[in-house]
């Protein structure tokens, strides 16, 4: 452990500067006893003591103040600890605040995770530089049924006797993919909401927000009616011009071409869990800007099915996860015309299912989306037809919680349906 790290562990960091200390060095001639060599004297170093405990406490106070400012809609308080000389950062933070207050947070905290150390930053900004990863812990009213956590990174430095935020992007490259790219991070936005739906669009696009909100409300009702009456969360739809929001990356040719929208993961603390626990699950829907005009209640019902089922777990076969969402999407829905499901069933069987030797694996499902999604729907449609919707829900929940291997999945299928997954496929071949 280096000297600075050891001192930091003790609660004090001593940063020494001011030149080389005067004294005597030893120099060897190659053999024998080293002889003294004079060293030019210089001013004695000055030591700057940094109490890291006090430093951390000061930053905690700032983070608490910023969270409270959002909840209380107090812009001056939110910006009070931002470096006033950094005009670019100040302008970004003003936009961030204006975005955040629109979302309707009922809980919000910024919590320190781990302080970071880089000597180069101390050399550049001074010994009081404090770089720290931060967890944004929050709950949006009517949307999140538990606390959501998102990673950030902040840099502070002491000036004039108090700490100021001087950078909020330095740690971005070391954060998980999609971090610091929430809907409120990417530029000025407009938020419109109802009791259980929230829509985010570019600032000024009021009519677009209104239209999507109507579709989102219909989709929430459909998911509650057709799949999960116990779902009490809501649907958040991000329909921005940006092609990279959260973990959605529509700059990739395949994703840009194949996906109209994606239910992106959040790290969420569910009811009954303590705050330190959490689960990844599909939640906020990010729309592909290329297909935004094609968005309707059916598409959103598909994505909201993922949101509603996130509480069950992530281990169900992908064909069942997507097949169930497709099944809900195709059912009769208020405000949408009924679909000819008998004709669709015949088409899927002849065009896609008849060419398979087994159900799509998790690994290959998204490589063949044009056929995999209809096949997933076809299997779920069969399960509902033969065993009933209640049985489908029960199988889904068991698989989502414990279907982490093929052996485990077959145990669950056999217990619930009396068939392994392979036997289920053979049954479908005879349909």
Quick one: 277 and 382 in the same domain?
no
Asked if residues 199 and 206 have their Cβ atoms less than 8 Å apart, the reply is: no
Quick one: 309 and 320 in the same domain?
no
Task: Provide the number of structural domains found in the chain.
Answer: 3
- pLDDT score at 27: 32
Quick one: 67 and 160 in the same domain?
yes
Domain final residue pick, 174, 198, 215: 174
Tell whether 274 is covered by a domain: yes
Give DSSP secondary structure letters for 291-333.
GGGG--HHHHHHHHHHHHHGGG-S-S-HHHHHHHHHHHHHS--
Tell whether 34 is covered by a domain: no
- pLDDT score at 272: 58
Quick one: 291 and 367 in the same domain?
no
DSSP assigned state of 345: H
- pLDDT score at 231: 85
Quick one: 319 and 309 in the same domain?
no
Tell whether 14 is covered by a domain: no
Pairing outcome for strands 147-159 and 130-140: antiparallel
Tell whether 254 is covered by a domain: yes
- Answer whether residue 395 shows pLDDT above 50: yes
Which residues, at least 6 apart from 422, have a Cβ–Cβ distance to it below 8 Å?
A: 358, 410
| Token pair in block for residue 26 | 């030893």
- Going by C-alpha positions, the residue among 341, 403, 404, 408 that lies closest to residue 374 is 341
- pLDDT score at 279: 58
The residues pairing with 147 across neighbouring beta strands, listed in sequence order, are 269
Residue-wise pLDDT for 187-231, tens only, equals: 999 999 999 999 999 999 999 999 999 999 999 999 999 888 888
Residue-wise pLDDT for 254-288, tens only, equals: 666 678 999 998 886 655 555 555 556 668 999 99
Tell whether 11 is covered by a domain: no
- Map 84-130 to HEC letters: CCCHHHHHHHHHHHHHHCCCCEEEEEEEEEEEECCHHHHHHHCCCCE
Q: For residue 93, what pLDDT band results from cuts at 50, 70 and 90?
A: very high
- Taken in order 417, 423, 425, 427, the sign of the CA dihedral is negative
- pLDDT score at 269: 61
- Answer whether residue 37 shows pLDDT above 60: no
Quick one: 141 and 205 in the same domain?
no
Quick one: 395 and 324 in the same domain?
yes
Q: How far apart are CA 209 and CA 193, in angstroms?
A: 9
Q: In terms of pLDDT, which residue wins out, 41 or 154?
A: 154
Which of 119-133, 165-179, 269-283 has the weakest average pLDDT? 269-283
- Look up the CATH number of the domain holding residue 235: 3.30.2010.30
Quick one: 120 and 133 in the same domain?
yes
Quick one: 194 and 254 in the same domain?
yes
Quick one: 305 and 402 in the same domain?
no
Quick one: 331 and 360 in the same domain?
yes
- Look up the CATH number of the domain holding residue 76: 3.10.450.50
Angle value at C-alpha 338, between 333 and 339, nearest 5 degrees: 120
Tell whether 397 is covered by a domain: yes
Q: For residue 145, what pLDDT band results from cuts at 50, 70 and 90?
A: confident
Tell whether 160 is covered by a domain: yes
Q: How far apart are CA 270 and CA 313, in angstroms?
A: 11
Quick one: 366 and 428 in the same domain?
yes
Domain final residue pick, 133, 151, 174: 174
Q: How far apart are CA 313 and CA 401, in angstroms?
A: 5
- pLDDT score at 21: 33
Residue with structure tokens 């939640």? 283
The residues pairing with 266 across neighbouring beta strands, listed in sequence order, are 281
- pTM for the whole thing? 0.83
| Token pair in block for residue 209 | 């927000």
Residue ranges making up the domain that contains 71? 50-174
Question: What are residue 29's phi and psi, to 5 degrees?
Answer: -85, -5
Residue 383 has a CB neighbour count (10 Å cut-off) of 24
What letters, b where the CB count within 10 A reaches 16 and e where it falls short, cover 172-205?
A: eeebeebbbbbbbbbeebbbbbeebbbbbbbeeb
| Token pair in block for residue 63 | 């983070």
CA 281, distance to chain mean position in Å, is 9
Domain final residue pick, 282, 314, 346: 314
Tell me the pLDDT of the chain averaged across its residues: 87
Tell whether 4 is covered by a domain: no
């Amino acid at each position: 452990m280096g000297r600075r790290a050891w001192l930091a562990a003790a609660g004090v960091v001593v940063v020494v500067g001011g030149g080389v200390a005067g004294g005597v060095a030893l120099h060897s001639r190659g053999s024998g006893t080293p002889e003294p060599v004079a060293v030019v004297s210089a001013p004695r170093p000055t030591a700057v003591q940094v109490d890291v405990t006090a430093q951390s406490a000061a930053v905690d106070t700032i983070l608490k103040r910023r969270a409270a400012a959002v909840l209380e809609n107090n812009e001056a308080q939110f910006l009070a600890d931002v470096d006033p000389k950094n005009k670019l950062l100040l302008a970004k933070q003003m936009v961030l605040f204006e975005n955040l207050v629109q979302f309707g947070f009922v809980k919000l905290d910024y919590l320190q995770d781990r302080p970071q150390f880089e000597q180069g930053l101390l050399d550049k900004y001074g010994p009081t530089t404090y770089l720290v990863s931060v967890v944004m812990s929050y709950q949006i009213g009517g949307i999140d049924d538990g606390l959501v956590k998102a990673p950030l990174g902040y840099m502070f430095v002491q000036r004039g006797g108090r700490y100021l935020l001087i950078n909020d992007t330095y740690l971005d490259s070391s954060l998980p993919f999609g971090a610091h790219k929430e809907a409120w991070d990417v530029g000025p936005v407009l938020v419109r909401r109802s009791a259980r739906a929230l829509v985010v669009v570019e600032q000024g696009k009021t009519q677009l927000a209104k239209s999507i909100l109507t579709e989102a409300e219909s989709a929430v009702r459909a998911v509650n009616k057709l799949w999960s009456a116990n779902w009490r969360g809501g649907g958040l739809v991000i329909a921005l011009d940006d092609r990279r929001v959260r973990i959605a990356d529509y700059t990739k040719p395949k994703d840009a071409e194949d996906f109209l929208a994606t239910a992106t993961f959040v790290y969420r603390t569910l009811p009954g869990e303590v705050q330190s626990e959490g689960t990844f699950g599909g939640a906020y829907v990010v729309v592909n800007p290329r297909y935004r005009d094609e968005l309707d209640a059916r598409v959103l019902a598909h994505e909201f099915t993922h949101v509603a089922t996130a509480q069950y777990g992530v281990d169900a076969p992908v064909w069942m996860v997507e097949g169930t969402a497709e099944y809900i999407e195709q059912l009769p829905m208020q405000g949408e015309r009924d679909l000819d499901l008998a004709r669709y069933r015949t088409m899927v069987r002849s065009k896609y299912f008849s060419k398979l030797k087994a159900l799509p694996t998790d690994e290959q499902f998204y490589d063949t989306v044009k056929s995999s999604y209809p096949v997933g729907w076809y299997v779920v449609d069969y399960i509902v037809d033969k065993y009933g919707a209640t049985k489908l829900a029960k199988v889904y929940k068991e698989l989502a919680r414990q279907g982490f291997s093929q052996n485990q999945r077959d145990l669950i299928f056999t217990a619930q349906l009396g068939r392994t997954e392979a036997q289920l496929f053979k049954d479908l071949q005879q349909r």
